[in-house]
Amino acid sequence: MDKASTQKIIDRLSSAQHPVLLTHIRPDGDAFGSLLGLGHTLRARGQHPSLFVEGGMIPMYQFLPGSELVHDHPTRLPEKTDCIVSLDTSTRERLGPKTLSWPQPIDIVIDHHISNPGYGVINLIDSQIPATAGVLFHLFQQAEWKITPDAATCLYTGLSTDTGSFRYRGTNAQTLHAAAALVELGADPSEVAKQCYLSITHERHALRKLVTDTISIKDRKMSAYLTILPEFYAKSGAKSEDSEGIIEDVSSIQGVEVGSLFEFMPDGGLRVSLRSKGKVDVNSIASSFGGGGHKAAAGIRFTKDAQKNQELVLAAISSALSSPAK
Ligand code: AMP
Ligand code: MN
Ligand code: MN
């Protein structure tokens, strides 16, 4: 991790009394884990952070200590705001539409997305670390800031969820050392696993059943994709966040190199998730359509021409599979 920019961020954060912490739209475990991990750590230092994310907390992550500290975006930022921090968010736009009308610059960007252009005044982006929570862990160590048991639980959750429970590429000895240190500091691995992986709601399960039934397999069984139609939500009673993780049902099939999920939105848009086992760089596919992410997990958001764009993305996957990047 870059020590000089880490130190700049430590200095900038130390001098802020009322920092605003933000994370990406459609937040995941790393988004909430990083938001609350930094929130708890600054609060333990006597600072007064405000934590915002589009839509506020979601039920699945309500088990995280301090979840009541997370709020939906306000129209205007609190008056005393003296530093804005973006966490785990690959582009400025992914902080959410409401944030775009805020006049203040983003002071600090802390992230691990390879596609992050560095839209902050100070940026700490380390794509070698598999979760933003891991970037924060190293930052706290360099700063010698105390990590409370609550902060440890949140950071551990970020590490666990972004590595698919320490299974994905990018999980290395350093990741496991960080996880072990967080357990020593108070995170409970089986409790986090129970909450994140063994607590699927019946609605989420019903959605998953509808979606997995749409499976199509192509490109010599190396590509498999799923489709979500708007009516699946009404049929299952699930919410939009319940689609998180369903893509694993195709990307985990033996021989499938690229798994993808196409969600047709009620407004005519299309949300695409891509996963690779390693032969194909899905970040470069996503980036060619204006999206981004990581080599092994990336996404795209189209605002129109859903059907046409689905075909274009599937064609790009086919072409990448016929000439793998390495
Ligand atoms: P998802 O498939 O939504 O879980 O996203 C996979 C990864 O790609 C995550 O790390 C996201 O932050 C990133 N990502 C998803 N959608 C986009 C997008 N439209 N632009 C940039 N990055 C994205
Ligand atoms: Mn995330
Ligand atoms: Mn992340």
Instruction: Give the Å distance between the CA of 79 and the centre of ligand 1.
Output: 31
Q: What's the CATH class of domain 3-197?
A: alpha beta
Q: What is the mean pLDDT of the chain?
A: 96
Entry pTM: 0.95
**Residue 169, pLDDT score:** 83
- Paired strand residues for 292: 299
Which atom in ligand 1 lies closest to the alpha carbon of residue 274?
2
Å from CA of 220 to ligand 2 middle: 31
**Whole-angstrom distance between the N-terminal and C-terminal Cα of the chain?**
26
Closest CA to 16 of 43, 35, 40: 43
Euclidean distance between CA atoms 205 and 209, whole angstroms: 6
Q: Which atom of ligand 1 is nearest to the CA of 272?
A: 2
Three-class DSSP category at 95? helix
Those residues whose beta carbon sits under 5 angstroms from the ion ligand 3 are 30, 88, 132, 162
Q: In testing the pocket of ligand 1, which one of 54, 89, 92, 94 has its CB within 8 Å of the most ligand atoms? A: 94
Alpha carbon of 320 to ligand 3 centroid (Å):
24
Q: How many CB atoms lie within 10 A of CB 64?
A: 25
Q: Which ligand is nearest to the CA of 299?
A: 1
Decide: 153 and 190 in contact? Cβ < 8 Å. Answer: no
Minimum CA distance residue for ligand 1 atom 7: 298
Q: Residue 303's pLDDT is what? A: 97
The tens digit of pLDDT for each residue in 254-289 reads 999 999 999 999 999 999 999 999 999 999 999 999
Q: What pLDDT digit, counting tens, does each position of 130-176 carry?
A: 999 999 999 999 999 999 999 999 999 999 999 999 998 889 999 99
Q: What is the pLDDT of residue 271?
A: 98
The answer to whether domain 3-197 and domain 202-322 are alike in fold is no
Residues of the chain with pLDDT under 50: 326
The closest ligand to the CA of 53 turns out to be: 2
CATH for 202-322, among 3.40.50.1260, 3.40.50.720, 3.30.1330.30, 3.10.310.30? 3.10.310.30
* CA 47 – ligand 1 centroid, Å: 31
Residue 234 CB-density burial (10 A; 0-12 exposed, 13-18 middle, 19+ buried): exposed
How much is the pLDDT for 39?
98
Strand locations in 34-156 (E)? 50-52, 70-71, 83-87, 108-111, 122-125
The per-residue pLDDT for 323 is 81
Q: Which of 86, 113, 244, 309 for a ligand 1 pocket mutation test, highest count of atoms within 8 Å of Cβ?
A: 113
Nearest CA to ligand 1 atom 10: 293
> Closest Cα to atom 13, ligand 1: which residue?
293
Pocket of ligand 1 (CB under 6 A): 24, 90-91, 113, 273, 291-294, 297-301
Domain boundaries, the chain: 3-197, 202-322
